[in-house]
Structure 1
């Protein structure tokens, strides 16, 4: 009878083990907390059943197995604790370089600045799906990812199954993805084929059983490594892929650190593994945002060890993070502030999303939330809400850029807020208007001082092809197009020269400006050669 019980238990245990592996998919390593918890449950079950069936001294020796797992858990706890491992945790981020903001961050082209947020992308994508009644009832959109594709920034999301029964009816996969130009909310496309070939997103997180993306990877031999940050990306030919980060815990059961990526074809399930050094150039994101922020906080908080009740020298990240792009590379951005500080930063960090290279720019100024409140306060009569800002280089100044939304989530205005002095705010109904307003306020405060080795001052002469004006927050701005440089629009405030209101098409003028890649340039000097001061 006991033998039958042992045989039955052995079969049930194997079934339980297979079930755990298939459903829970733990990482079979002893430095993962969930895996240790699973092993403890197994050890308890084995001991209880063994003692119940055999009821002898040998059976009670099975408790050693429970004790062994508990000992491993205790050891891993101490190996993971910042009390004993503060040095290892602090240097997980690697070497942090300090650089000059103006020398490293390229001036921004206003036309490329994103105006779409992930939340807006979902609303725009749902609206696009709603235009296709048959498709809208079968699929949904779960999450959008920022992608830098062929020089443009997009938000992209795969069509996801809206439930188990929808998956069962469409097991060949959902028919494509939605792509939105981050700089133009009117450019929303539903992509169902690439190069004439139809798209089927078969493997995805919202699928079930063998079509589930995590399970597909796990059962392909990746049981002994951590899998995280499943992001949907496009290559430069707009072919879709899943990019998944491989990581290992380097400090006990903590200290997750990326070691490579998997690139999965969502249509065929083909998997290719790459190290961080040799992955394809089109991959934007190999470093999970939460890992980067955790490691920066370890670096800042453990500067003087675990025991630091006075918080001497302690730093921490500000609330909220964002992704910024500079010369085709993407970075996680976060402000850095002293522990306990609420309104100001001592600088900010950029973490390369491919290599984890981290740079600290020491610029004291406002936090992101302070800048948001400043922008909202400039138009408080409208009760607009500011989006979380993006850090940019505008006219040589570190600047927060954000959009202002109404209660329906629609963009009403754009805002630029100076990092060093968040009372300097530029608001406008277009990016160009807001930028001109911002630069005018910088000039008024005497804070616009372009650095010579970053900007070259250019002197240009030509005839006016077009000239127009607009009023922004009570200030008049003039927009000038010259025959000698038709690709640039030059902007000047009325306060720059009393010749501006008298300037007309055909006049020959002489201007000066600091060169930048933007198609809209703020002038530093204006002179109408047709107007003689003595006349």
Structure 2
């Protein structure tokens, strides 16, 4: 093969390879897309190897002749770059090296090392209050069900539909937490159970989706009048990612997920992004792409133009990552690595068997509030000491984020406390949600058996995670917890069987005879008595006063040596901060 033919063959095969690679990988044609650079690197590597096998390869070799003693002439070849280096191969190799260097340096100079302040300002965090946490009278807006439980209910619902179960399935990763009619709901579309099932059903599409209520703990299959054709589980031109990419070749998007509007119409939503720091840094939400999966019509919208029924524009994982940057990089990169003065982070868990990259990940719960879905997660020190210094709540539609100062146990300590109360049953707690009961921040969660079925509910006090109530239904659990906070029942009764009305109440303290007294605090001591926590005060004169902790929570702000005014009969006391 002559040189010209070799170049032609190499060029044609490289173009074919590039076309197949692009069709499969779908990188955005955008300078801020690192995937595009990787795409070109692989294409050039392919071209480089082709240059060695289509006729140019002999240019690397030089013939040598040697004469042996018996007069036999033997021809041999050896590699000699100097004699026959291909200009094309050298050019391709150099271009590949330049792209690799561009990719590495682009990432390096976009990193937090050089732009710590810019990263810390991507997410704007305002101060919140305990009133931003839903109160106990809004528990119908709390999504207690985790995705694993929703998947089991959804699978059970689909399994009962014999005409669907053989052709379609639901993946746990397909569920999205949305808010419909101000009630939290998990929704997931059916998906094709493989390429052959897609081929058999591609003309009519996906026939419906599943809606799971975390409040009622039930699932419902919603059939559609018109099937969804453009979906992630389809192939070739019906593949949703491919459909979006060909329509918006330069747009960087991610977090493609399923949602339902207020009329029950299905949509797919993809969040679009800009990179605001260097080439590959400062990932910031710019808007969404809405896709009608029935006819494939699409519209690209800025954040300000997103309709109110869309619940997830700012993914929870991105919010948590940006909050960590905000909380750790305000005093510079090196402080976040070494001194860590004032550094905080969201609640995290370690996992080695997730579908995503293994390692440490943020975890968060959901709250339905004001017709939007809010996420919440605890905030702790970077040392990870199993305690929280507060919480963040963030609106997944608008990105509004608030920090609420409320110290106490982290979510995983609360989960262990709840599991400990029913350890003989070996129930497992799901990740909790956050509510307030009697203006007290409280974790509420479900307890599941080995099969993943919800068996009980638990409430755990944030500031004192030894204050726990459990029951077989949510209403009784909250009622028991309220009675426990009010001192009407003991800790044993709060975690025992039966309703709170049937529990033996401890009589409330009679404060009619209390008089005002100013004392100097010499000592403070908590003590558990009959399942209730008491706070004892010893004043400078040696007098001892006691009260149930829940009745004197303002004592949290009192230190030894403070002069305070209490109401007391000489034994019991009440204290209210002025």
- TM-score tier, shorter chain, comes to 0.7 to 0.9
Name which of 154, 159, 162 aligns with 2:185: 154
Partner of 1:519: none
Structure 2 residue aligned with 1:409: 452
The residue aligned with 1:34 is: 35
Quote the offset at 1:174 in angstroms: 1.7
Matches within 5 A, 1:131-530: 131-142=160-171, 143-172=174-203, 173-186=205-218, 188-193=219-224, 198-220=225-247, 222-251=248-277, 252-308=279-335, 309-319=338-348, 320-444=363-487, 473=496, 477-478=500-501, 494-495=505-506
* Secondary structure in 2 matching 1:31: coil
Kept in 2, the 8 Å contact 1:384–1:407? The answer is yes
Match of 2:524 in 1: none
Contact 2:33 2:280 in 1 (8 A): yes
Q: CA 1:376–1:438 in 2, change beyond 3 Å: closer, same or farther? A: same
- Higher Rg: 2
After superposition, the C-alpha distances for 1:312-355 in whole angstroms (9 at most, x for unaligned) are 21111112212222222211212111111322111111121012
Is the 8 Å Cα contact of residues 159 and 201 (structure 1) preserved in structure 2? no
CA distance in 1, matches of 2:333, 2:34: 22
Distance verdict in 2 for CA 1:207–1:103, change over 3 Å = closer
Alignment of 1:84-95 (within 5 A): 84-93=114-123, 95=124
**Distance between the aligned counterparts of 1:417 and 1:363, measured in 2?**
14
For 1:157 and 1:179, the matched residues in 2 are separated by 7
* Paired residues, number: 457
Counterpart contact for 2:488–2:508, Cα < 8 Å = no
Matched, 1:9 2:41: no
Which string of whole-angstrom CA distances, capped at 9 and with x for unpartnered residues, describes residues 141-167 of structure 1?
112212211222211111110011000
Aligned residues of 1:154 and 1:179 also touching (Cα < 8 A) = yes
C-alpha separation in 1, matches of 2:375 and 2:140: 21
- Work out the CA distance in 1 between the residues paired with 2:94 and 2:292: 46
Q: CA offset at residue 443 of structure 1?
A: 1.9
Deviations 1:8-60 (A, max 9, x none): 22222221221122111112223333322222233344456568738567544
Instruction: State whether residues 34 and 280 of structure 2, in contact with CA within 8 Å, keep that contact through their aligned partners in structure 1.
Output: yes
- What SS class does the counterpart of residue 199 from structure 1 fall into? strand
TM-score by length of 1: 0.80
Moved more, 52-61 or 170-179: 52-61
- Point out where structure 2 has 5 or more consecutive residues left out of the alignment: 60-83, 349-362, 510-550, 552-578
* 8 A Cα contact 2:143 2:368, kept in partner: no
**Is the Cα–Cα contact under 8 Å of residues 210 and 221 in structure 2 kept in the other structure?**
yes
Separation of aligned partners in 2, 1:203 and 1:416:
43
Measure the CA separation in 2 of the matches of 1:177 and 1:136: 13
Distance 1:471 1:356 in 2: 38
Alignment of 1:17-166 (within 5 A): 17-46=18-47, 53=56, 58-59=87-88, 60-93=90-123, 95-102=124-131, 105=134, 107-142=136-171, 143-166=174-197
Q: How far apart are residue 107 of structure 1 and its match?
A: 4.9
- Residue 527 of structure 1 aligns with which residue? none
1:496-534, CA deviations, whole angstroms, 9 ceiling, x for partnerless residues? 689xxxxxxxxxxxxxxxxxxxxxxxxx9xxxxxxxxxx
Q: Structure 1: any 5+ residue segments left out of the alignment? A: 447-469, 480-491, 499-523, 525-535
1:210-249 deviations in Å (ceiling 9; x for gaps): 11111110111x2222221111111111011111111122
Distance in 2, matches of 1:130 and 1:104, equals 38
Answer yes or no: is the 8 Å Cα contact 1:158–1:232 preserved in 2: yes
TM-score after normalising by structure 2: 0.74
- In 1, the alpha carbon distance for the partners of 2:425 and 2:400 equals 41
